[in-house]
């Protein structure tokens, strides 16, 4: 069902190609404009989540589209920043592996166990840390390498937490 929060999420998904076009267009401020699009996507993520919960408009479609929008945008930005030499490959690989494990594990749990999968504290903390790493790396802010390491550590903790939760629901 399309409602206001889901519509905002769809708009966020449409921001991914907008980011890519603007980021890869020739121009002196392409990184700035691209990161502004990421900031808009982050803000709309908070808004659609808040509206969905506050207005009791959480839907199965929204539960699929919202994390999809996040993953598409973050991987697009990380990869783009890596390709221009502003983001470390190890964190791109770590986050992509983490997201693949979460998607595959989430699909398994939903299909086999008929359980709902949702983000937890560690996953949200990892997302915030990755956003911080993306912004500090994009703008070459001193200390960005420390922030990327912290984002990597939090991502590993989040992945471990999700894997442990998955193992608890596994049948042998």
Q: State the CATH number of the domain containing residue 64.
A: 1.20.120.1760
pLDDT at 1: 61
Pick the last residue of a domain from 16, 50, 85.
85
In this structure, the answer to whether residues 79 and 92 fall within a common structural domain is: no
Q: Domain count of the chain?
A: 2
Planar angle of CA 134, 17, 147, nearest 5 degrees: 5
- Sort 98 into a burial class: Cβ within 10 Å, 0-12 / 13-18 / 19+: buried
pLDDT, one tens digit per residue, over 11-30 is 999 999 999 999 999 788 99
Domain interval for residue 72: 1-85
pLDDT of 28-52, one tens digit each? 899 999 999 999 999 999 999 999 9
Residue 126, helix vs strand vs coil:
helix
Same domain, 42 and 61: yes
For 91-150, write each residue's pLDDT tens digit. Answer: 999 999 988 888 777 777 666 666 666 678 898 899 999 999 999 999 999 999 999 999
- Going by C-alpha positions, the residue among 129, 21, 126, 13 that lies closest to residue 80 is 21
Q: What is the pTM of this model?
A: 0.90
Interval 62-96: pLDDT, tens: 888 888 899 999 999 999 999 999 999 999 999 99
pLDDT at 140: 96
Regarding whether 46 and 1 lie in a shared domain, the answer is yes
* Distances from the Cα of 14 to the Cα of 78, 79, 80, 153, angstroms: 17, 18, 17, 30
| Burial status of residue 82 (CB atoms within 10 A of its CB: 0-12, 13-18, 19 or more) | middle
């Amino acid at each position: 069902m399309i409602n206001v929060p889901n519509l905002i999420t769809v708009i966020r998904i449409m921001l991914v190609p907008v980011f890519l076009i603007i980021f890869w267009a020739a121009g002196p401020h392409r990184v700035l404009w691209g990161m502004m699009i990421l900031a808009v996507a982050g803000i709309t993520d908070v808004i659609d989540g808040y509206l969905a919960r506050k207005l009791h408009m959480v839907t199965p479609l929204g539960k699929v589209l919202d994390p999809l929008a996040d993953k598409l945008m973050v991987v697009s930005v990380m990869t783009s920043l890596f390709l221009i030499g502003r983001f470390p490959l190890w964190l791109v690989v770590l986050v992509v592996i983490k997201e693949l494990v979460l998607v595959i594990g989430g699909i398994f749990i939903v299909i086999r166990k008929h359980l709902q999968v949702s983000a937890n504290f560690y996953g949200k903390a990892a997302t915030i840390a990755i956003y911080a790493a993306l912004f500090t790396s994009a703008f070459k802010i001193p200390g960005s390498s420390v922030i990327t390491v912290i984002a990597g550590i939090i991502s590993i903790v989040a992945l471990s937490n999700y894997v442990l939760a998955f193992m608890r629901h596994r049948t042998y």
